[in-house]
């Protein structure tokens, strides 16, 4: 269909001035590095995308999605200053948000053309879901932890207005049979 993937621009977030490294650079994968309102600084996510390009991510659509997505929306307030770091961060309930390189690498490997319907098992923070939503026709995401699912729903459908995301609380082992 021709429906819009985004019904609203991100209106909240951003504080780090650039990409930070949490570990020494390695060949092929050098390192770089939610609810309180503040101004979203698009240069922060653009710096993260630029880092990912130097780290080996080549898909321009993936890099553009990273550049427009405020990762700090998906982490607890206390960790917002570390949101652009290239490392996983705790999001509560014993779970983490994947490091940006891993999220971009996994997304790049899907080779999405924009017409796909994607099933994601484990919504978590919703960051990977949002990346997928910017690149695919429709995303169906299942999260078993109610607290995480509710937080992700608020971010994805509320704050970011991603109209092509469908969320469900449940066991992902069962898939989404009706879709």
Q: What are the catalytic residues?
A: 98
Q: Which long-range contacts (CB under 8 A, 24 or more apart) does 37-40 make?
A: 37/12, 38/12, 38/13, 38/14, 39/13, 39/14, 40/10, 40/11, 40/12, 40/13, 40/14, 40/70
Residue with tokens 């779970």: 95
Q: Distance between CA atoms of 132 and 1, rounded to whole angstroms?
A: 16
Q: Which residues contact 113 (CB under 8 A, 6 or more apart)?
A: none
């Amino acid at each position: 269909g021709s429906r819009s993937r985004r019904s609203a621009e991100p209106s909240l977030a951003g504080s780090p001035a650039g990409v930070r490294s949490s570990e020494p650079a390695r060949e092929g994968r050098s390192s770089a590095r939610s609810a309180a309102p503040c101004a979203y600084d698009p240069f922060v996510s653009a710096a993260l995308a630029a880092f990912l390009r130097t780290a080996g991510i080549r898909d321009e659509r993936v890099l553009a999605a990273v550049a427009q997505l405020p990762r700090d929306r998906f982490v607890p307030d206390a960790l917002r200053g570390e949101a652009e770091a290239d490392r996983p961060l705790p999001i509560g309930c014993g779970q983490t948000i994947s490091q940006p390189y891993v999220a971009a690498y996994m997304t790049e490997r899907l080779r999405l053309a924009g017409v796909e319907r994607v099933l994601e098992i484990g919504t978590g923070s919703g960051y990977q879901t949002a990346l997928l939503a910017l690149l695919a026709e429709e995303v169906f995401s299942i999260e078993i932890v109610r607290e995480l699912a509710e937080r992700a729903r608020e971010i994805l459908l509320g704050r970011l207005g991603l109209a092509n995301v469908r969320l469900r609380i449940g066991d992902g082992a069962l898939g989404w049979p009706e879709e």
